[in-house]
Chains A and B, each alone.
Chain A
Amino acid sequence: MPDDLVASRSDAPRPERDDPALPSLGAIGLLRWAWRQLTSMRTALFLLMLLAIGALPGSVFPQRGVDATQVTRYRAEHPELSPWLDRLGMFDVYSSVWFSAVYLLLFVSLVGCVVPRTRVHLAAMRARPPRPPSRMQRMPAHASFEVEASESEVAEAARELLRGKRYRVDVRGGAVSAERGYLRETGNLLFHVALLGLLVAVALGSLTGYRGQFLLTTGTGFANSLVAYDTFDPGTWVDEGDLPPFQLTLDDLTVAFETDAAGNQFAAPRDFEAAVTVVDEPGADPVERTIRVNQPLPVQGTNVYLQGNGYAPVVTVRDTQGRVVKSGPVVFVPQGRFYESPGVVKVLETEPQVGLQGIFLPTWEMDAERGPVSVFPDALDPRWFFTAWTGDLGLDGGEAQSVYELDTTSMTQLTDDDRTPFAVGLSPGESIDLPDGAGSVTLERIDRFAAFGVRHDPAKGWALGFSVLAIVGLVASLFVPRRRVWVKVSGRGPEAPADGPGAGVIVVEVAALARSEDPRLEAEVAQLTTRLRERLDGTATEPNQEPGE
């Protein structure tokens, strides 16, 4: 039975006629053979499985495209293994040659499969339903009954009935052939074509779209252009000089954290909201807007997202003479749920240069073992702890350096009189003199910063559209039953008298064939039989059979 089902599922040219032996047909023949293999159901299945397996490593190993810093950390932790993993593309799984090969082959196979199937399907929709089989009782569902009627009456009644049930009906030589459920194959083709469309939309989106990130401390602004981004990731077809010239100022950032619940929910973030002022293009009126998580701000065809936040202590550094050599907010990147934020202040103006390395704790407490720690992410009792270095910051060589790290190779750490490293904690408003007359440091106040992401993807609407089409097609493909039904008169009733009343009794046969998964096939035949009989023989001579439903 399952074999039958499978064999009759579709008339698509699915070349699973197994001919593993190579036909000796020369180059063209070989190509044709290869193409047929590639577009076979079995290959598609194999490629699907490969796709699933191939996608997995990307969830195990950190991915450059997702979080490059994690990859750097992983590589540092696994120096032996990493070069090998890298060679295999394990840090770039989704852009690796082998992963791309799998999905491209799959989609080539898909095209090679969908095109001929579409052709066959179009022809099938125009063709007449096939003639009844000679032996109706061999069909998966079959019923027969006797009735006093003529062949043409049977055909007419069956035709009306089947038409009413949205079958395509054809009457030939007194026998009725009917077929329904073409929508199933249509849906299946739609589904597969929509997947292709989706792939194209995703590809277009990454070619013509861009994404970028920037940080703003409260009160500062951003003008959309390449130089203003901290990171910028354009598609190949993006003209980087031609970004929409909007401006955005961070007016305020409000945050809320869990204070009530205990356990692991304590201190969990509850709300972040950035109040911004936007100028759509130079000269336009400024408008006030808010950006929240899950609530990006659409500006000029892009979306601006609130992606992170943290603290920017406002630090003033004076030199020995008391001149201000550095003043302003410095971004400290928070880590963990209590926003312990390491960060550095680099003073380039002095000779020697000064570097302050430390950690900002929004709500600090002294832990007996670990020293000062943060116990809550909001700035309830903030304190900044740091050590100080003098020497060469290493910024003159022109090499790129992280603003969040201090390169101490050419620097010496300042110490107290007793030769222990100088280390100090400051609360807002406090100042401290550095040892060795290296100047003084003041923590003026604590500002916040917000990390924004900008995303432009002109093809995302298409991606959504194709996804919806895929679902629609899928539902039709899975749930529309496709079946053929035949009704024919197989002869006179075996017990019909030669003449007189009852002489016109004939045997009517109804048979059906499922052309897809179809658990209701027998019920359909039972129902058709009952209805047909009612129509032909309003005054039922025998007790009516229970309909199958």
Chain B
Amino acid sequence: MSVDTTLAQVSNVLVYSSMAAYSGALLGYATDLSSRGGRSARAVAAQEKVLVGSGAPVDDAAERPPMAGARSSRAAGIATSLTWLATGLHLAAVLTRGLSASRVPWGNMYEFAVTGSFVVSAVFLGLVVWRRDLRWLGVFSVGPVLLTLGLAVTVLYTESAQLVPALQSPFLVVHVSIAFISSALFTLGFSVHVLQLVQDRRQQARAAGTPPTRGAFMDRLPRAADLEALGYRLVAVSFPLWTFTLVAGAIWAEKAWGRYWGWDPKEVWTFVIWVVYAAYLHARATRGWDGRRATYLAIAGFVCVLLNFGVVNIFFSGEHSYAGIG
């Protein structure tokens, strides 16, 4: 039952180190966004020259490549390297934290926050490996990660310790790890969707002849329609994972508490999140609801994810009350 306190200390130091590296990365990505020059029209034209034509209507921003940012930027490169470094440190922090108590590092809210934000960062890096031109997402991924870590070390900190009996189950690994990945995708989806709404407004303003005066960096991001498509894909990947989380949670609840569904506040919110995102997917297929309106639903879904973590864990009592906040 003993806990290796030295290792737990090491984990804390690693968290702070990774925060430092993330701060550097955030700075780099912000510099990149604010300093990127105008698009090189030639590169775009070259791209369009392929035989495959597109029937999409040309909008005001069509001179942008579908996923902007193909232009390589030194700042973005440095920022991405720093993000790799930070994520590596972050991973080490997560691992040492788990090893210090010989268990998975997600047994209380501090650990949820630390491990969850690590997954966000890892998913972002995964996206960047998949599509290098997604680096513009850096600010909007590293930003939330840093914010979460800040909250974790200041408000949520909990000493490393063993688990309460209800959490001692293989389902802790299955259920929570998938929930992490799913939440990370929802987080990134949310960032993209917010950008989409901003971009959409800017495009509308421009179409109405009143081009926006501030936030010029937005012009270097993809068009609203492309942001919408990316946000959708993130949610579409996440939704089955969330469904799995729900089902695995129900199986676990059946083992631990003798019922697979009991409308415990945490279960209610997991269900509500699922329904809201289901509504979002539906809305996208409903005429009159695609585009902006559907996106509002996805944003509502993420607000529920945040409330589920931030409010339900702490203020609503239920069988899931293991937040470990004093």
Residues of A within 8 A of B (CB): 1-3, 5-7, 9-10, 16, 18, 41-42, 44-45, 48-49, 51-52, 55-56, 58-60, 63, 65-66, 70, 93-94, 137-145, 202, 211, 256, 258-265, 268-272, 292-296, 303, 305, 307, 453-455, 457, 460, 463-464, 467-468, 470-471, 474-475, 478-479, 517, 519, 522, 525-526, 529, 545-546, 548
Closest 3 CB pairs of A and B: A264-B326, A265-B161, A261-B161
In the bound complex, what is the Cα–Cα distance between A7 and B288 (angstroms)? 11
Contact B52 A293 (CB under 8 A): no
Contact A58 B258 (CB under 8 A): no
Contact A142 B52 (CB under 8 A): yes
Any A CB within 8 A of the CB of B287? yes
Contact B55 A141 (CB under 8 A): yes
Q: Which residue of B lies closest to A1 (CB)?
A: B56
Given A48-B279, A258-B162, A463:B260 Cβ within 8 A = yes
Any A CB within 8 A of the CB of B271? yes
Given A51-B275, A55-B272, A271-B165, A9:B255 Cβ within 8 A = no
Contact B53 A260 (CB under 8 A): no
Contact A2 B247 (CB under 8 A): no
In the bound complex, what is the Cα–Cα distance between A6 and B229 (angstroms)? 13
In the bound complex, what is the Cα–Cα distance between A270 and B312 (angstroms)? 24
In the bound complex, what is the Cα–Cα distance between A211 and B258 (angstroms)? 9
Complex interface: chain B residues within 8 A of A464 (CB): 247, 251
**Complex A-B: 8 CB contacts under 8 Å:** A1-B57, A45-B283, A66-B263, A142-B52, A143-B52, A265-B161, A307-B258, A453-B258
With A56-B272, A260-B161, A463-B260 given, name 9 new contacts (CB 8 A).
A6-B285, A59-B268, A143-B51, A270-B164, A294-B168, A517-B232, A519-B229, A529-B51, A548-B50
In the bound complex, what is the Cα–Cα distance between A60 and B291 (angstroms)? 32
Contact B286 A260 (CB under 8 A): no
Contact A471 B239 (CB under 8 A): no
Given A260-B3, A471-B240, A517-B232, A45:B286 Cβ within 8 A = yes
Q: How far is the CB of A350 from chain B (nearest CB, A)?
A: 40
In the bound complex, what is the Cα–Cα distance between A262 and B158 (angstroms)? 9
Complex interface: chain A residues within 8 A of B254 (CB): 460
Complex interface: chain B residues within 8 A of A59 (CB): 265, 268-269, 312, 316
Q: Which one of B53, B56, B162 contacts A143 once the chains associate, using CB atoms below 8 Å?
A: B53
Any A CB within 8 A of the CB of B236? yes
Interface size for B (C-beta < 8 A) is: 76
Complex interface: chain B residues within 8 A of A211 (CB): 258-259
Any A CB within 8 A of the CB of B1? yes
Residues of B within 8 A of A (CB): 1-3, 50-57, 108, 158-166, 168-169, 225, 228-229, 232-233, 236, 239-240, 243-244, 247, 250-252, 254-265, 268-269, 271-272, 275-276, 278-279, 281-291, 297, 312, 316-318, 324-326
Complex interface: chain A residues within 8 A of B169 (CB): 294
Complex interface: chain A residues within 8 A of B165 (CB): 269-272, 292-294
Complex interface: chain B residues within 8 A of A259 (CB): 1
Q: How far is the CB of A283 from chain B (nearest CB, A)?
A: 28
Q: How far is the CB of A487 from chain B (nearest CB, A)?
A: 15
Contact A264 B259 (CB under 8 A): no
Q: Which one of A6, A52, A265, A545 contacts B50 once the chains associate, using CB atoms below 8 Å?
A: A545
Complex interface: chain B residues within 8 A of A58 (CB): 263, 265, 268
Q: How far is the CB of B126 from chain A (nearest CB, A)?
A: 17
Complex interface: chain A residues within 8 A of B265 (CB): 58-59
In the bound complex, what is the Cα–Cα distance between A138 and B262 (angstroms)? 54
Complex interface: chain B residues within 8 A of A256 (CB): 1
Contact A140 B51 (CB under 8 A): no
Q: Which residue of A lies closest to B297 (CB)?
A: A49
Contact B282 A296 (CB under 8 A): no
Complex interface: chain A residues within 8 A of B285 (CB): 6, 9-10, 41
In the bound complex, what is the Cα–Cα distance between A457 and B250 (angstroms)? 14
In the bound complex, what is the Cα–Cα distance between A307 and B312 (angstroms)? 23
Contact A475 B263 (CB under 8 A): no
Contact B287 A138 (CB under 8 A): no
Q: Which residue of B lies closest to A456 (CB)?
A: B258
Q: How far is the CB of B29 from chain A (nearest CB, A)?
A: 25
In the bound complex, what is the Cα–Cα distance between A59 and B169 (angstroms)? 25
Contact B275 A262 (CB under 8 A): no
Complex interface: chain B residues within 8 A of A519 (CB): 229, 233
In the bound complex, what is the Cα–Cα distance between A271 and B284 (angstroms)? 48
Contact A478 B239 (CB under 8 A): yes
Complex interface: chain B residues within 8 A of A522 (CB): 52, 54
Q: How far is the CB of B102 from chain A (nearest CB, A)?
A: 13
In the bound complex, what is the Cα–Cα distance between A341 and B298 (angstroms)? 47
Contact A42 B312 (CB under 8 A): no
Contact A478 B236 (CB under 8 A): yes
Complex interface: chain B residues within 8 A of A305 (CB): 256-258
Contact B278 A48 (CB under 8 A): yes
Contact B288 A455 (CB under 8 A): no
In the bound complex, what is the Cα–Cα distance between A264 and B326 (angstroms)? 5
Q: How far is the CB of A393 from chain B (nearest CB, A)?
A: 33
Q: How far is the CB of A86 from chain B (nearest CB, A)?
A: 17
In the bound complex, what is the Cα–Cα distance between A16 and B108 (angstroms)? 47
In the bound complex, what is the Cα–Cα distance between A12 and B264 (angstroms)? 37
Contact B52 A145 (CB under 8 A): no
* Most A C-beta atoms less than 10 A away, residue of B55, B158, B236, B288: B55
Given A55-B275, A471-B243, A141:B286 Cβ within 8 A = no
Complex interface: chain A residues within 8 A of B3 (CB): 260-261
Contact B164 A7 (CB under 8 A): no
Q: Which residue of B lies closest to A47 (CB)?
A: B279
Complex interface: chain A residues within 8 A of B316 (CB): 59-60
Contact B225 A2 (CB under 8 A): yes
Given A45-B283, A49-B279, A303-B258, A142:B162 Cβ within 8 A = no
Contact B51 A526 (CB under 8 A): yes
Given A48-B278, A60-B316, A526-B50, A140:B243 Cβ within 8 A = no
* Most B C-beta atoms less than 10 A away, residue of A1, A65, A93, A292: A1
Complex interface: chain B residues within 8 A of A545 (CB): 50-51
In the bound complex, what is the Cα–Cα distance between A299 and B124 (angstroms)? 48
Complex interface: chain A residues within 8 A of B244 (CB): 471
Complex interface: chain A residues within 8 A of B57 (CB): 1
Complex interface: chain A residues within 8 A of B236 (CB): 478-479, 517
Contact A260 B279 (CB under 8 A): no
In the bound complex, what is the Cα–Cα distance between A453 and B259 (angstroms)? 10
Q: Which residue of A lies closest to B157 (CB)?
A: A263
Q: How far is the CB of A66 from chain B (nearest CB, A)?
A: 6
In the bound complex, what is the Cα–Cα distance between A260 and B57 (angstroms)? 66
Complex interface: chain B residues within 8 A of A546 (CB): 50
In the bound complex, what is the Cα–Cα distance between A59 and B272 (angstroms)? 10
Q: Which residue of B lies closest to A137 (CB)?
A: B53
In the bound complex, what is the Cα–Cα distance between A475 and B244 (angstroms)? 11
Complex interface: chain B residues within 8 A of A63 (CB): 263
